[in-house]
C-alpha cells in the first residue's frame, strides 16, 4: 500500500468502523434498564449507514478502545482556533481520562452528530455543554460497568486517569479500555432539540467547575506537532484513488453568460481529460494538477485576463457591478428593511438644548477572508451516491446542500471532513465542494478541485461595504445627551452557491438574507436612536467574515465616542467610563488601562510639539460581542511626511468567561489583533464593473512581518470556573480599527473615518 492509499484508507474508515469491524456483541447494560438489554446487536461494516449517529446514544459521542485510548466524536470542526483541543479538554475532564489519550474525530457526517456550523464563536459556548454532558454520561456508564465487574455498588468506585478502582482497594483497578473490551457504547443517554439548541444527556450530573483539573489549564494543541512536520492531512492533501484534478474557469464578468468554448490545443496538454461545461459553469479535468492548470489557462483562467474573450472561452459582455468609488451611495440607496437597536428618550428634543453637536459618516469597504490555502474539495459522484471530502465549517449543512444540488438522496451522501487553511467565516470552501460535485457528476470519477489564487480572491464571498451616519451632542458639562447611530448593512449571510447559479439552478439551495445592525449598544445616553437598514446582496456575493459587520460598527461607534470625548476635552478612558454601567465592560476597560499604565489626559495632548516628522499617540476602544467584552489599547507612531502608521504596543483585556485553554485563547486573541490590524491598515477589495480586480496578494495586500506590532499583551478577565464560557473566536477583532484611528487622532489630530488607513488616506486626513 502506498502512503497515499493508506491515507485514503484512514480517511474512509473511521474509528467507529474499526469498532464495528472488531466488535462482536455490543454490551448489554442491564444497569441502564431492561430495554437496553435487548439492544445487543452485531455490527457490520459492510452496511454502514451514512446517516449521522443518533445523538441520544453514547456511541455517537464516544468510543473507548481496548488499548485504553478513546475517541470523542463531534460535528464541530477545527478552523485553526484550537477547538479540537478545547473540546477534548472538556470531554477528558468529565470522563476523568488522560487528555493525550483522547483523540477527536470532527465533522464527518456519518460519524458525528450535527451540532450546527462552527461559526460565530459558538463552538465552546454551545457544543461545549453538549460534549460535557455526553462525557459525563460516559463516565456514569463506565462506573456502571465497573460496578458489575467488581460486584460492588457504584458509589464504592472512583474514576481517575482512565481507570476505575474500588475505593480503598488500589489493587482492584480496571482501565476503561478493558471494561469496554472493544464494544460499542450503545447506551441511551437522551438528547432533544437540534444543532445549537440540542440538549444531550440532560439529567446527568456534571462536575462542579471549581474542581476542574483539565479545563482551565493551558495545554498544547493536539494538531500542532503534525502541522509542523508535514504529517498533518489537510483537505488539500487528501488523495482519493482514481481522482482527477479539476480547475474552474469562472466567467469574466460576474454575471456573464458563456458564449462559446474553443477547445483547440487542449488535447495536446499532457494529462488533459476533458472540458466540463454545463450552462455557464465551465471547468476542466486532467490527470495532473499542472495539466488542469494549463488547460484552464487556455480557456481564460489567468491572473490578469484582458477581457471577456481573452481566452478560448468567450463570455458575454457583462458590466453589472456598481461603481466602486460610489459603492456607499449604492448601499445607502438599496432597498431593505429597517430595524431598531435602541430607542431612548428623544434625540431631536435633546439637540435643541445641546451645547455642541457633532456629525460624522464612517465608510468601510468590501473585505475578504483571504485564506492562505485556496479552497479545495474532492467529490466522488457515482450515480445516485456521492462522497465529498471538504474542509467546510458546516459539514452537515453542506451534505444537505450537495444532495439538493446533485438531486440525489441524502441517505446516499457522505461528507468526510478534513481541516483546511484557516477560513475566518464562509470563504470559498462550500463553493469548491459544489464545483467538485458538478465536475465529478459530469465525468463519473472522483474530482479534486482546488481554486487558483485568483478564483479565491475573485470569488470567495466577501464581507460587505457598510456606511454609517453618527450624530452626537454634548451638554455644557461635556456629557453626551444625544446619540444617533444609523447603519446600512448588506447581507452577511448569502449562502447561495456559485456553481448552482452557474448551472442555472440558483435557488436549489441557500438564501440571501438581510444584513443586520450588528452592534451592541451599551452606553447610557439619555437620548439614543440606534437603527439599522438591512439589505440583501449589493454587488458582490457576501457572507460572514470574522465578526460580521460588528468589526465595522465598532469602528464607527468607538471612533465617534472618541470624537465626542475629544470635543469635550476629556480623557478617552474616563469619558467612556462616565457613560457606562455594564460592569464587565468597565472591568475590561480598567484591566486594559491598568496593564497599559494609562494616565488620564485629554485626547491629543500627549503628542510632542510637532518638531519631528513622527508623532506618537494612543487609542482605546471596547466591544460587547455575543456576551464577550474586549477592550484594546494601542500605541501608534504616525509619519506625517508619508502618512505611514506603525503600531507599537498593544494591550487587550478579554472577558469571555470560563477559559478552557488559556494558551489557546491567547493565540486566538493575538491572531484576531493582527488580522484586524491588517483589515484596518491595508484591506479593500477593488472591482470594476465586471469583476473583482484584487486577484492576488499584490492587488489585496495584507499585513507583512515587518509591520506587526512590537508586542501584544493579553489580560484575561473573569476567566475562572464560576463563569459560563462564551466564545472567543472573533470578538477581539472588533475594537482594532477604532483603536488605531483613535490613536492616530491622538498623535496628529486627524480623524480617519474610512478603512483601510492607507498612507494616502492618512495624508489626505492630515490636510483637511
Partner 1 sequence: MPQNFTLNVNGAARTVDAEPGSPLLYLLRDNLGLHGPKFGCGLGECGACTVVMNGNAIRSCVTPVSAVGDARITTLEGLGSIDNPHPLQKAFIEEQAAQCGYCINGMVMSAKALLDRTPHPSRDDIKLALDGNLCRCGTHMRILRAIERAAQQGA
Q: How far is the CB of 566 from ligand FES (least distance, A)?
A: 37
Q: Which of residues 420-449 bind partner 1 (CB under 8 A)?
A: 420-422, 424
Q: How far is the CB of 490 from partner 1 (least distance, A)?
A: 23
- Residue pair 93/161 in contact (Cβ under 8 Å)? The answer is no
420 binds, among partner 1, ligand FES, none (CB under 5 to 8 A by kind): partner 1
d(CA 73, CA 94): 15
In 3D space, the residue among 597, 708, 559, 701 whose CA is nearest the CA of residue 646 turns out to be 708
Residues 6+ apart with CB under 8 A from 640: 613, 614, 615, 748, 766
Alpha helices in 508-661 (DSSP H): 550-567, 572-577, 583-596
From candidates 326, 333, 356, 704, binder to partner 1 by CB under 8 A? 704
Q: Which of residues 497-536 bind ligand FES (CB under 6 A)?
A: none
Q: What is the CA radius of gyration of the chain?
A: 28
Specify the residue, 300 or 422, whose C-beta has the smaller distance to ligand FES. 422
How many other C-beta atoms lie within 10 A of the C-beta of residue 34?
A: 7
- Residue pair 364/518 in contact (Cβ under 8 Å)? The answer is no
From candidates 33, 270, 506, 610, binder to partner 1 by CB under 8 A? 270
Cα distances (Å, whole numbers) of residue 109 to 50, 95, 414, 652, 693:
7, 24, 6, 38, 37
667 binds, among partner 1, ligand FES, none (CB under 5 to 8 A by kind): partner 1
Specify the residue, 432 or 561, whose C-beta has the smaller distance to partner 1. 432
Give exposure, 272-301, as e/b (b: 16+ Cβ within 10 Å): bbbbbbbebbbbbbbeeeebbbbbbbbbbb
668 binds, among ligand FES, partner 1, none (CB under 5 to 8 A by kind): partner 1
Q: How far is the CB of 106 from partner 1 (least distance, A)?
A: 14
Q: Which long-range contacts does 297-300 make (Cβ < 8 Å, 24+ apart)?
A: 298/265, 298/266, 298/269, 299/249, 299/261, 299/275, 300/249, 300/252
Q: Which of residues 64-83 bind ligand FES (CB under 6 A)?
A: 80
Site string for ligand FES, 297-316 (x = CB under 6 A): --------------------
2 binds, among ligand FES, partner 1, none (CB under 5 to 8 A by kind): partner 1
303 binds partner 1 (CB under 8 A): yes
674 binds partner 1 (CB under 8 A): yes
- Residue pair 679/367 in contact (Cβ under 8 Å)? The answer is yes
Specify the residue, 6 or 697, whose C-beta has the smaller distance to ligand FES. 697
Preceding omega of 428 cis (within 30 degrees of 0): no
241 binds partner 1 (CB under 8 A): no
Specify the residue, 177 or 422, whose C-beta has the smaller distance to ligand FES. 422
How many other C-beta atoms lie within 10 A of the C-beta of residue 147?
A: 18
From candidates 422, 493, 532, 727, binder to ligand FES by CB under 6 A? 422
Provide the CB-side half-sphere exposure for 7 (13 A, CA): 16
Which three-class secondary structure string do you get for 180-240? HCCCCCCCECCEECCHHHCEECCCCCCCCHHHCCCCCCCCCCCCHHHHHHCCCCCHHHCCC
Q: How far is the CB of 80 from ligand FES (least distance, A)?
A: 5
Q: How many residues bind ligand FES (CB under 6 A)?
A: 3
From candidates 93, 114, 419, 430, binder to partner 1 by CB under 8 A? 419
Specify the residue, 9 or 372, whose C-beta has the smaller distance to ligand FES. 372
- Residue pair 726/125 in contact (Cβ under 8 Å)? The answer is yes
Q: Which stretch binds partner 1 (CB under 8 A): 66-74, 367-375, 482-490, 591-599?
A: 367-375
d(CA 331, CA 536): 10
d(CA 439, CA 592): 52
372 binds ligand FES (CB under 6 A): yes
Cell 489630530, residue located: 749
Cell 456511541, residue located: 59
Specify the residue, 80 or 756, whose C-beta has the smaller distance to ligand FES. 80
Cell triple for 601: 489626559
Q: Which of residues 141-180 bind partner 1 (CB under 8 A)?
A: none
Q: Which stretch binds partner 1 (CB under 8 A): 161-169, 324-332, 364-372, 470-478?
A: 364-372
In 3D space, the residue among 48, 34, 24 whose CA is nearest the CA of residue 180 turns out to be 24
Describe the crossing of helices 759-766 and 736-748 by its angle, rounded to 10 degrees. Answer: 40
173 binds, among ligand FES, partner 1, none (CB under 5 to 8 A by kind): none
Q: How far is the CB of 235 from partner 1 (least distance, A)?
A: 11
Specify the residue, 82 or 513, whose C-beta has the smaller distance to ligand FES. 82
How many other C-beta atoms lie within 10 A of the C-beta of residue 642?
A: 11
Site string for ligand FES, 599-628 (x = CB under 6 A): ------------------------------
Specify the residue, 423 or 517, whose C-beta has the smaller distance to ligand FES. 423
Cα distances (Å, whole numbers) of residue 198 to 115, 124, 191, 195, 749:
7, 14, 7, 5, 52
In 3D space, the residue among 368, 424, 413 whose CA is nearest the CA of residue 391 turns out to be 424
729 binds ligand FES (CB under 6 A): no
In 3D space, the residue among 652, 647, 754 whose CA is nearest the CA of residue 708 turns out to be 647
How many other C-beta atoms lie within 10 A of the C-beta of residue 508?
A: 18
Which three-class secondary structure string do you get for 621-637? EEEEECCEEEEEEEEEE
- Residue pair 545/371 in contact (Cβ under 8 Å)? The answer is no
From candidates 696, 761, 764, 766, binder to partner 1 by CB under 8 A? 696
Site string for partner 1, 101-140 (x = CB under 8 A): ----------------------------------------
Residues 6+ apart with CB under 8 A from 315: 251, 252, 253, 256, 257, 258, 259, 300, 308, 309
Specify the residue, 422 or 617, whose C-beta has the smaller distance to partner 1. 422
Specify the residue, 631 or 669, whose C-beta has the smaller distance to partner 1. 669
Specify the residue, 210 or 229, whose C-beta has the smaller distance to ligand FES. 229
Give the helix, strand, coil percentages of the chain, each rounded to 5.
35, 25, 45
Q: How far is the CB of 78 from partner 1 (least distance, A)?
A: 8
233 binds partner 1 (CB under 8 A): yes
From candidates 28, 443, 708, 764, binder to partner 1 by CB under 8 A? 708
Site string for partner 1, 624-663 (x = CB under 8 A): ---------------------------------------x
678 binds, among partner 1, ligand FES, none (CB under 5 to 8 A by kind): partner 1
Q: Which of residues 462-501 bind partner 1 (CB under 8 A)?
A: none
Specify the residue, 153 or 231, whose C-beta has the smaller distance to partner 1. 231
Cell triple for 402: 450537495
Specify the DSSP element, H or E, that contains 399. Answer: helix 395-406
10 binds partner 1 (CB under 8 A): no
Cell triple for 764: 489626505
Q: How many residues bind partner 1 (CB under 8 A)?
A: 66
742 binds, among partner 1, ligand FES, none (CB under 5 to 8 A by kind): none
Q: How far is the CB of 184 from partner 1 (least distance, A)?
A: 29
Q: How far is the CB of 644 from partner 1 (least distance, A)?
A: 16
Q: Which residues bind partner 1 (CB under 8 A)?
A: 2-4, 79-82, 220-221, 223-234, 236-237, 239, 270, 288-290, 293, 303, 369-374, 419-422, 424, 450, 452-453, 663-664, 667-668, 670-675, 678, 696-698, 702-706, 708, 711-712
Q: Which residues bind ligand FES (CB under 6 A)?
A: 80, 372, 422
Amino acid at each position: 500500500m502506498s502512503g497515499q492509499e493508506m491515507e485514503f484508507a484512514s480517511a474512509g474508515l473511521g474509528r467507529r468502523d474499526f469498532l464495528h469491524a472488531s466488535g462482536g456483541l455490543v454490551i448489554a447494560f442491564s444497569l441502564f434498564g431492561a430495554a437496553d438489554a435487548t439492544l445487543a446487536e452485531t455490527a457490520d461494516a459492510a452496511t454502514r449507514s451514512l446517516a449521522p449517529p443518533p445523538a441520544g446514544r453514547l456511541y455517537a459521542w464516544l468510543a473507548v478502545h481496548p488499548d485504553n485510548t478513546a475517541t470523542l466524536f463531534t460535528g464541530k470542526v477545527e478552523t485553526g482556533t484550537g477547538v479540537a483541543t478545547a473540546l477534548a479538554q472538556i470531554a477528558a475532564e468529565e470522563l476523568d481520562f488522560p487528555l493525550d489519550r483522547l483523540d477527536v474525530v470532527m465533522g464527518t457526517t456519518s460519524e458525528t452528530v450535527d451540532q450546527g456550523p462552527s461559526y460565530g464563536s459558538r463552538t465552546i459556548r454551545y457544543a461545549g455543554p453538549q460534549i460535557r454532558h455526553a462525557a459525563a454520561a460516559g463516565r456514569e456508564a463506565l462506573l456502571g460497568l465497573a460496578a458489575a465487574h467488581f460486584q460492588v455498588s457504584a458509589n464504592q468506585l472512583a474514576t481517575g486517569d482512565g481507570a476505575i478502582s474500588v475505593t480503598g482497594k488500589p489493587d482492584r483497578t480496571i482501565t476503561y479500555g478493558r471494561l469496554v473490551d472493544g464494544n460499542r457504547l450503545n447506551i441511551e443517554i437522551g438528547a432533544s432539540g437540534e444543532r445549537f439548541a440540542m440538549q444531550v444527556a440532560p439529567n446527568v450530573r456534571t462536575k462542579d467547575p471549581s474542581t476542574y483539573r483539565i479545563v482551565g489549564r493551558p495545554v498544547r494543541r493536539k494538531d500542532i506537532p503534525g502541522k509542523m512536520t508535514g504529517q498533518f492531512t489537510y483537505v488539500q492533501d487528501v488523495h482519493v484513488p482514481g481522482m482527477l484534478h479539476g480547475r474552474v474557469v469562472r466567467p469574466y464578468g460576474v454575471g456573464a453568460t458563456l458564449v462559446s468554448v474553443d477547445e483547440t490545443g487542449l488535447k495536446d496538454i499532457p494529462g488533459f481529460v476533458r472540458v466540463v461545461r454545463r450552462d455557464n459553469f465551465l471547468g476542466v479535468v486532467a490527470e495532473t494538477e499542472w495539466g488542469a492548470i494549463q488547460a484552464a489557462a487556455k480557456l481564460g483562467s489567468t491572473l490578469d485576463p484582458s477581457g471577456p474573450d481573452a481566452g478560448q472561452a468567450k463570455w458575454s459582455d457583462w458590466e453589472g457591478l456598481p461603481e466602486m468609488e460610489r459603492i456607499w451611495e449604492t448601499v445607502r440607496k438599496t432597498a431593505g428593511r429597517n430595524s431598531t437597536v435602541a430607542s431612548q428618550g428623544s434625540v431631536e428634543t435633546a439637540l435643541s438644548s445641546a451645547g455642541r453637536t457633532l456629525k460624522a459618516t464612517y465608510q468601510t469597504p468590501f473585505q475578504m477572508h483571504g485564506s492562505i490555502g485556496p479552497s479545495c474539495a474532492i467529490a466522488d459522484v457515482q450515480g445516485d451516491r456521492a462522497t465529498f471530502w471538504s474542509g467546510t465549517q458546516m459539514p452537515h449543512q453542506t451534505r444537505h446542500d450537495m444532495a439538493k444540488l446533485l438531486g440525489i438522496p441524502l441517505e446516499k451522501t457522505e461528507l468526510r471532513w478534513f481541516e483546511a487553511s484557516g477560513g475566518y467565516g464562509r470563504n470559498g470552501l462550500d463553493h469548491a465542494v459544489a464545483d467538485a460535485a458538478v465536475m465529478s457528476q459530469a465525468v463519473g470519477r472522483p474530482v479534486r478541485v482546488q481554486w487558483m489564487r485568483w478564483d479565491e480572491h475573485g470569488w470567495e464571498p466577501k464581507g460587505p461595504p457598510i456606511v454609517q451616519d453618527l450624530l452626537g451632542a454634548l451638554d455644557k458639562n461635556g456629557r453626551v445627551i444625544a446619540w444617533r447611530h444609523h447603519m446600512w448593512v448588506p447581507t452577511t449571510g448569502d449562502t447561495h452557491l456559485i456553481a448552482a447559479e452557474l448551472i442555472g439552478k440558483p435557488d436549489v439551495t441557500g438564501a440571501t438574507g438581510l444584513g443586520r445592525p450588528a452592534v451592541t449598544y451599551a452606553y447610557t445616553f439619555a437620548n439614543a436612536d440606534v437603527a439599522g437598514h438591512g439589505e440583501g446582496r449589493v454587488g458582490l456575493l457576501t457572507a460572514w467574515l470574522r465578526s460580521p459587520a460588528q468589526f465595522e460598527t465598532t469602528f464607527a461607534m468607538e471612533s465617534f465616542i472618541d470624537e465626542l470625548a475629544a470635543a469635550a476635552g476629556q480623557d478617552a478612558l474616563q469619558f467612556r467610563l462616565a457613560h457606562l454601567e455594564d460592569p464587565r465592560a468597565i472591568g475590561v476597560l480598567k484591566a486594559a488601562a491598568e496593564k497599559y499604565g494609562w494616565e488620564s489626559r485629554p485626547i491629543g495632548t500627549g503628542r510632542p510639539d510637532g518638531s519631528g516628522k513622527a508623532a506618537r499617540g494612543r487609542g482605546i476602544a471596547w466591544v460587547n460581542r455575543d456576551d464577550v467584552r474586549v477592550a484594546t489599547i494601542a500605541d501608534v507612531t504616525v509619519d506625517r511626511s508619508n502618512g505611514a502608521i506603525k503600531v507599537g504596543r498593544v494591550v487587550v483585556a478579554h472577558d469571555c468567561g470560563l477559559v478552557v485553554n488559556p494558551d489557546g485563547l491567547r493565540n486566538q486573541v493575538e491572531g484576531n489583533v493582527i488580522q484586524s490590524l491588517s483589515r484596518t491598515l491595508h484591506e479593500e477589495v477593488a472591482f470594476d464593473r465586471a469583476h473583482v480586480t484584487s486577484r492576488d496578494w499584490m492587488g489585496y495586500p495584507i499585513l507583512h512581518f515587518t509591520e506587526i506590532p512590537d508586542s501584544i499583551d493579553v489580560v484575561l478577565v473573569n476567566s475562572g470556573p464560576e463563569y459560563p464560557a462564551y466564545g472567543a473566536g472573533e470578538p477581539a477583532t472588533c475594537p482594532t480599527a477604532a483603536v488605531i484611528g483613535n490613536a492616530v487622532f491622538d498623535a496628529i489630530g486627524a480623524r480617519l473615518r474610512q478603512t483601510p488607513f492607507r498612507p494616502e488616506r492618512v495624508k489626505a486626513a492630515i490636510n483637511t
